[in-house]
Structure formats: structure tokens, C-alpha cells
Amino acid sequence: MTARHLLGAACAIAIAVLAACGLVTSTSRSVFFVFDVSGTYVKAVPDAAKLANITVAELLPGDYIAASQISACSFSEKEIFLNRQLPQTPSLAAEAKREVFTALNAYAAQVKTAKFTDIRGALAQAAFELKQRPEADRYIVLFSDMLEDYSKSCDVSEIPLDLSGIHVVAANVIKTDPSNPKKYFDSLKMWEATVVASGGKWSLVSSPDQLPKLVTGQLEGTT
């Protein structure tokens, strides 16, 4: 056996040993959850938090998790209430996930309603944070009715968005006016166009099992 073959065999054995010890994992994903706390959506936050927890449960050691809320002026670090990198070791990652579950549940239990809804600012803040991350796959998950309402003191409706390299997923989107389906679909079309024009990828998930599958690469993006 040549030295080259010996080296290859040694590397294969080393990888197998590390995998058995739980030290070889895929670490190329960051997920940023954004919660709408407007008067029309705040009652849906507990369900959204459950969906976020289901998604976190499917993430791998080394993945990154963050969460923020949509306020009257969302382009702010102050709206970020969760920021966690899962450890590489599976047992420690599992413990960290439990801490994330607790944090999300606690947030949903005491969430307060915002008077205005700055979705664009929330997207800009989440994108800013993700672009500083090393992970190859970057997701912003929006839990919202996708209806904006800017305050006069913080109208960021014209600020540019840079969503290049980011997959924006709208999840648990509620219908605030069932008598006006056109308003619902027009809003979704507008946000899809905004995300795509800003260099991002857009998906809308309509069932609870779709989100974790999409984020973990088991499901192709849907619109």
C-alpha cells in the first residue's frame, strides 16, 4: 500500500472515530425567526413559537438560531431577544435546544402588543445580522400577517433592502380579513416581489410540517 493510500485510510478512520464521538456534523445553517406582535397578530404568537420550536428541534449541532420581534421601529438590536449557536457536540446541542425552547415559550407567554408594524425594518435588521454569519444557508422566518403599519416617527418604507444570499420564509400567515381574499394575496405578492427584487429567495409555507423540512433542506422552496 502506498503512502497516499495509507494517508487516505488513516483519514477515513479518524473521521469515523470523530463521527462516533459526535464531533462531525453539518454546520452550514443560520435561522432568524421574526415575530409580528401587532394587534392583528399577537394572539397568533404562541402558535408561531410552537412552530419555531418544531423547527429548532430539527436543526443540527453547529447551526445558529436568533429571534426578534417586529415593533414600531424594528431596525434595532434591542428587538433581538434570542441569539444562540448550537454547540458542535450533539449532547450539548440538545441541551442548548431545550434552552431555546424555554426562551421562545417564555417570550410567547409574556409578549406585548406593538402599536405599529415595521416589517421592512425587521427584515433589514435580521439580514444585517445574518450577513455577518459564516453559515452558507441563511433563513429569515417571518411569522406575520404581512401587513405593515408605519408610525410617523419611524417610516422606513423606502429604505433599501439587501437580501442577497438569504431565503425569506413566510410562515403561519394569518388572514386578518376573510371577507377580502384579494387583500391577503396582494400582500403576499407584494412581499414576494420585494424580497426577490432585493436579491433574496421567497417561500410561503402553509402547513406546520413544511417549515422544518424547508429549513433543513428536505423540501424545495414553495411560493
Helix (H, G, I), strand (E, B) or coil at 128: helix
44-90 tens-digit pLDDT: 999 999 999 999 999 999 999 999 999 999 999 999 999 999 999 99
Instruction: Indicate if the pLDDT at residue 13 is higher than 60.
Output: no
CA atoms within 13 A on the CB side of 205: 26
Which position has the higher pLDDT, 218 or 31? 31
Question: For the domain with range 27-215, which CATH number is right: 3.90.1300.10, 3.40.50.410, 3.40.50.20, 3.90.850.10?
Answer: 3.40.50.410
Least reliable range by pLDDT among 110-114, 192-196, 206-210: 206-210
Would you place residue 95 in the very low, low, confident or very high pLDDT band (cuts 50, 70, 90)? very high
Residues 149 and 104: beta-carbon distance below 8 Å: no
The per-residue pLDDT for 118 is: 94
The per-residue pLDDT for 221 is: 57
Instruction: Indicate if the pLDDT at residue 212 is higher than 60.
Output: yes
As a whole number, the mean pLDDT across the chain is 87
Q: How far is CA 127 from CA 8, 27, 52, 84, 135, in A?
A: 40, 19, 18, 16, 13
Which position has the higher pLDDT, 177 or 21? 177
Instruction: Indicate if the pLDDT at residue 32 is higher than 80.
Output: yes
Distance from the first to the final alpha carbon of the chain? 54
Instruction: Indicate if the pLDDT at residue 24 is higher than 80.
Output: no
Could you tell me what percent of the chain has a pLDDT over 90? Answer: 70
Task: Report how far residue 108's alpha carbon sits from residue 102's, in angstroms, rounded to the nearest whole number.
Answer: 10
193: its cell numbers: 416581489
Residues 6+ apart with CB under 8 A from 5: none
Single pTM value for the model: 0.85
125-147 tens-digit pLDDT: 999 999 999 999 999 999 999 99
Which position has the higher pLDDT, 222 or 188? 188
Q: How far is CA 107 from CA 31, 71, 190, in A?
A: 17, 14, 29
The per-residue pLDDT for 220 is: 67
The per-residue pLDDT for 26 is: 42
Q: How far is CA 195 from CA 50, 124, 199, 217, in A?
A: 25, 11, 7, 20
Which position has the higher pLDDT, 105 or 175? 105
**Residue 134's closest CA among 198, 76, 85?**
85
Task: Report how far residue 162's alpha carbon sits from residue 54's, in angstroms, rounded to the nearest whole number.
Answer: 28
List helix spans (H) across the chain: 3-20, 45-57, 90-110, 119-130, 181-197, 210-215
